[in-house]
Structure 1
């Protein structure tokens, strides 16, 4: 390569570098945004499919001026093609007054009626001689003999009674009234001691008739019921106050259940309740609210409610679990399906259908909720048609339309079918 040729190539490279430096030093001026987006909107993009190039749109242009709800963050009236409404499964229902019923369900524990519970104790020390009721679960009747007991105090009191009885016979006809009255008082005092020890009158009469001191005397059941606890053993020594039997009348029982504090206002004394058991849901027992306890559990936010019901066949056993259902009639009220309400923070919104695909979002105020229904306190009138399905899809699309319309000055972003 000649020297002249090398010199020529160097001059060309120097000139190209100078031109590049000059171009980089100049500011870049882009066309206005509107013209750029117009150009992009009209560009043919073969690498994208037709479905991708087509912008999805559900909500068409708004009809008429916006409603006051727009200031509350809720879009105004929107129009959706009727065939599109049918496609997405929109359903309507008129606002109407209907009877409402509040249903409260809870689980309770079966408990013994405390008013039909008795404990058998003795008021003197002694030794059990013979047991007549020897097993837990045995049924007893009021006055039935439970066991016999030997006690030195009982033997001594019997002897005193016989002596007092004999003294009254001898001194009862005394010419001195004080002597006759003293013998009678002694007899009555001894008899009262038997009664305080729960020795029945028939045994006292038997003692008077035979005149023989008995080694043992029987102790009787105070109520009719079932033995749910037994600590009495033949030959055992017992002290005063020691519990030997616990007897419960299970023909009438309690169910203790927890009710949440927000449901307590619906629970009243003497309300009827349906009770079922998990192993036999087809059998429904009827009880009533007997008592609402005055305290609340701070951890569970519940209060105890006592349900009472008859249990003559003893189907319900103590400590069983039972399902309790309360039905509270609330009367006739203006109500709509719960699925029609869109919860937005502290606001409730429904869509009114004006025909021709026109939908109006409406702020409402709801009251009590019962199953599938919500009471309407404000915002709707009887007979108005509301959307009861696909509400969230309509709500999201209407909000999207408001956002797009708020992006003024950006051509090419208008949503069309």
Structure 2
């Protein structure tokens, strides 16, 4: 009986030891997977989450899901399988839909090279007549004129009484009675030098009496822009009394985008349409392209001279201008898909399996919301037409290089990039030693190892003990750091 009891106790002890061993091993495995120093990771549909972030502020990382502190939206996860693998960043289709990403294909189409712009009618500043007093005197009469009046050539503006003319004319009449031709010529020349019009001198000769009142008239027809003469006022010799702007031709000042400047030349034909005269076109030619560019609107002024028959074109009228041109075929993408950084021009390529990659392009003309791609894209390649700025921000954060113009991407863009997080143990000339978490794409467990520096500048500002998120690749020389950022809360 005692033997049976001892045997039963032995079996129970053995079972207990086995359970303890299994539990210990399981605990060790759990402790290894959930190391307190690792970045928080959760499984969603079998995919490992590295961190959560706001797509509008992708540089800020969070260790759990929730609402973004920056925007009225939920944080989105960054999965481990998005850190490396095939070229490009990977975006889950559901997230792509939430971000409003729209994809279109680069296709050949017809692009109109006709240039259009808007402008306003202005006076022709080359057709201006100035009315001045040739001699000092007094205004004895005005003819009810006002600025803005349209007058014809020879229209009277004011009568001017010139006292000094009376004495000179009397002397001239006296000399004429002497019959001395030389003296008569000299006296007549004096009248001319005093600013007396030839018509006034002729009237003195015909009438035989002085004419010291002169009528100031418009030398050409047009609109009175300024009028500085009033009854009874005193005027001095050379004083400007009126300014008349002709209306036979007008200027159309068109605001042309800076990128069109190279396609226009003085003398080139242009046509204008005005809302005041629907269905009617007014033909003209480019008279000048002004040398300065408006800093705010980045436009230059193109001056077009138009004939103004009947004075129908009035300064201040709004006009649409067509500079002509012809249609041609080219590779087209929506203009909204183009990202201009100031240093280069990019589009965001939509690759297979929900992946996206920036590509550098060279853009030509633009028309009707379409841009001509001169280089950097092939027909049929798909580009992102909306939401591309968020993807470009994500690509920049991941250290991804854009595909250059001319074909293949650089080796660093094609090399598989891996990401994880860890703690800096040491920084020296040989590289950075990191105690990092697992790298599922390489089936690496958590470990401490040294990484070469792809660029010595990557280590600037970091010190031992900093927790970082880093990206690396595996060239023949060994694991090499390509990006490193401080984790949130550091």
Structure 1 length as normaliser, TM-score?
0.61
User: 1:306–1:213: structure 2 CA closer, same or farther, 3 Å change rule?
Assistant: same
For 1:38 and 1:147, locate their aligned partners in 2 and report how far apart those are by CA, in whole Å.
94
Matches within 5 A, 1:254-269: 254-269=251-266
Distance 1:362 1:344 in 2: 12
Residue in 1 aligned with 2:202? Answer: 205
Matches of 2:336 and 2:314 in 1, distance apart?
45
Query: Deviation of residue 249 (structure 1)?
Result: 1.0
Contact 2:103 2:386 in 1 (8 A): no
Q: Is the 8 A contact 1:353 1:385 kept in 2?
A: no
Q: Is 2:103–2:350's contact at 8 Å kept on the other side of the alignment? A: no
Change beyond 3 A, Cα 1:148–1:324: same
| Aligned match for 2:137, one of 118, 126, 151 | 126
Provide the residue aligned with 1:385 in structure 2.
380
2:361 match: 365
Aligned to 2:28: 30
The alpha-carbon deviation at position 208 of structure 1 amounts to 1.9
Which has the larger share of helix? 1
Secondary structure at the aligned position of 1:329 is classed as coil
Contact 2:347/2:384, CA 8 A, preserved across alignment:
no
Q: Is the 8 A contact 1:366 1:374 kept in 2?
A: no
Tell me if structure 2 keeps the 8 A contact 1:117–1:249.
yes
Q: Which has the higher strand share?
A: 2
Match of 1:214 among 197, 211, 215: 211
Report what 2:231 is aligned to: 234
Whole-Å separation in 1 of the counterparts to 2:253 and 2:229 = 30
1:151 matched to which residue of 2? 162
Q: Deviations over 1:101-145 (max 9, x none)?
A: 26453454x432222112211121212223235333333332333
Q: Secondary structure of the equivalent of 1:192? A: helix
Q: Normalized against structure 2, the TM-score is what?
A: 0.53
Native 8 Å contact 1:275 1:286 kept in 2: yes
The offset of 1:232, in angstroms, is 1.9
SS at match of 2:240: coil
Distance 1:97 1:134, change over 3 A: closer
SS at match of 1:30: helix
Tell me the equivalent position of 1:16: none
- Alpha-carbon distance in 2 for matches of 1:246, 1:390: 56
Query: Deviation at 1:245?
Result: 1.8
Total equivalences in the alignment? 334
Which structure is larger by alpha-carbon Rg, 1 or 2?
A: 1
Task: Answer yes or no: is the 8 Å Cα contact 1:104–1:263 preserved in 2.
Answer: no
User: Counterpart in 2 of 1:96?
Assistant: 108
Alignment gaps of 5+ in structure 1 = 1-25, 43-55, 172-179, 411-417
Deviations 1:300-325 (A, max 9, x none): 6554443322333434444x263454
For 2:205 and 2:33, locate their aligned partners in 1 and report how far apart those are by CA, in whole Å: 126
Q: Which whole-Å CA distance do the structure 2 matches of 1:193 and 1:33 have between them? A: 113
